A = this chain, B = another copy of it.
Amino acid sequence: MPLEAMRYDITPTGLHYLLIHWDIPDADASTWRLAIGGAVERPFSLSMDDLRSRPSVTHTVTMECAGNGRAQLTPRPLGQPWLHEAIGTAAWTGTPLRRVLEDAGVRSDAVELVFTGADSGYQGDVLQDYQRSLTVADAMRPEVLLAYEMNGRPLEPQHGFPLRLLVPGWYGMTSVKWLTAIDAVTERFEGYQQSATYRLQQNEDDPGTFVTRMMPRALMIPPGVTDYPARRRFLPPGPVVLQGRGWSGRGSVERVEVGIDGVWNDATLEKPAGEFAWRGWSFPWDATPGEHELSCRASDTAGNGQPLDPVWNLGGFANNPVQRIGVTVQG
């Protein structure tokens, strides 16, 4: 997502970030089935018509790729070389997963739900369908959706048409696209996407910790005009309102600070665009001629903040250092 698109509360569908592991599946909504099985009392399956006839809910959700910020790390981890732009906010409509799981009757010995997508391919020499799991408690949270619409229209193919999981607050890898199956399992799921990647590891042997909810991040719409293709910023001297967005999947963003050449100031916060969505912020700056470094950082109600510098990990995940923008104010 180009950062100037933070001007929109809801990101235009075609500007929302995408991370597609393999190919986009060729999907037919008229024959699509979601199968719910495994350690449940009453396994069953649902057509898209079945899903649409169930209660529907819309949540405005800011979603971020767990690899956002990866390109700032040295040495650069293997993976999509995102700078800051792997974000987006959309209005997702679907039916609550919880009610579907209640209809199936998740057995008391089940510990997790495994979600399977129709996309498949090789990763780490393993041929696999895309699969991720959630604990029963996380899957039962009321905001978790089986989503079939984005911004009021059927999902586009690249966003999971015709059906995806949508887990507000978590990094995007959790919200399995092209969802075909949900299986309750009685042992912790150890599939490739759950255990071999999306972990914070210092080296290959480090068991590390799992990537789960989004860390706080604030981003600024780069002010002034840019150059192509280098992307430095240029602006005239005088008053300019710096603006951007802040979000966290671990609490509410309660503070955004703006750094002007390393001096931090509190920004003014707007109302969030939704319970699970980013909130706008602004800060008036009187730009003086010369070279400047602008930055911003968010902190949330759970006490999480942003480091000044990137913190390396093997996969380059959950990296949320402060954004720094070099600007030239032309006197």
Stretch of A13-21, A51-59, A254-262, A268-276 on the interface side = A13-21
Q: Is residue A282 contacting chain B, with contact meaning CB distance below 8 A?
A: no
Q: With A2-B23, A4-B23, A23-B4 known to touch, is A227 a contact of B121 (CB < 8 Å)?
A: yes
A123 interface neighbour in B22, B125, B227, B234, Cβ under 8 Å: B227
Q: When the two chains form their complex, are residues A123 and B228 in contact, meaning their CB atoms are under 8 A apart?
A: yes
For A13, give its contact among B7, B14, B18, B122 (CB under 8 Å).
Answer: B14
A5 proximal to B (CB < 8 A): yes
Q: Which residues of B contact A79 (CB under 8 A)?
A: 229
| A157 contact set on B, CB distance < 8 A | 5, 8, 12, 15
Contact of A202 with B by CB under 8 A: no
Please tell me if A158 contacts chain B, counting CB pairs below 8 Å: yes
**A15: chain B residues within 8 A (beta carbon):** 14, 156-158
**In the complex, A137 has a CB within 8 A of chain B:** no
A47 beta carbon closer than 8 Å to chain B: no
Number of contact residues on A: which range applies? Answer: 35 or more
Q: Write out the residue numbers on chain B whose beta carbons fall within 8 Å of the beta carbon of A80.
A: 229
| A23-B4, A26-B7 as given contacts; A12 in contact with B158, CB under 8 Å | yes
A211 interface contact, C-beta 8 A: no
List B contacts of A5 (CB < 8 A): 24, 157
Q: Across the interface, which residues of B come within 8 angstroms of A263, CB to CB? A: none
Interface string of A52-88 (1 = CB under 8 A from B): 0000000000000000000000000011100000000
Q: Which residues of B contact A20 (CB under 8 A)?
A: 2
Q: How far is the CA of A4 from the CA of B20 in the complex (A)?
A: 12
Interface 1/0s, chain A 259-301, versus B by CB < 8 A? 0000000000000000000000000000000000000000000
A327 to chain B, nearest CB (A): 13
Complex interface: chain B residues within 8 A of A195 (CB): none
- Which of B24, B26, B121 touches A228 (beta carbons < 8 Å)? B121
Q: How many Å lie between the Cα of A7 and that of B28 in the bound state?
A: 13
> Are A228 and B158 neighbours in the complex by a CB distance under 8 Å?
no
Contact B12 A156 (CB under 8 A): yes
Q: Are A120 and B12 in contact, CB atoms less than 8 angstroms apart?
A: no
User: Is A186 an interface residue, CB under 8 A from the partner?
Assistant: no
Contact code string A14-55 (vs B, CB < 8 Å = 1, else 0)? 111010111110100000000000000000000000000000
Could you give 23 example pairs across A and B, Cβ below 8 Å?
A4-B23, A5-B157, A7-B26, A12-B157, A12-B158, A13-B13, A13-B14, A14-B14, A14-B16, A14-B158, A14-B159, A22-B226, A22-B227, A23-B222, A23-B226, A120-B225, A121-B225, A121-B226, A121-B227, A122-B226, A123-B227, A127-B225, A127-B234
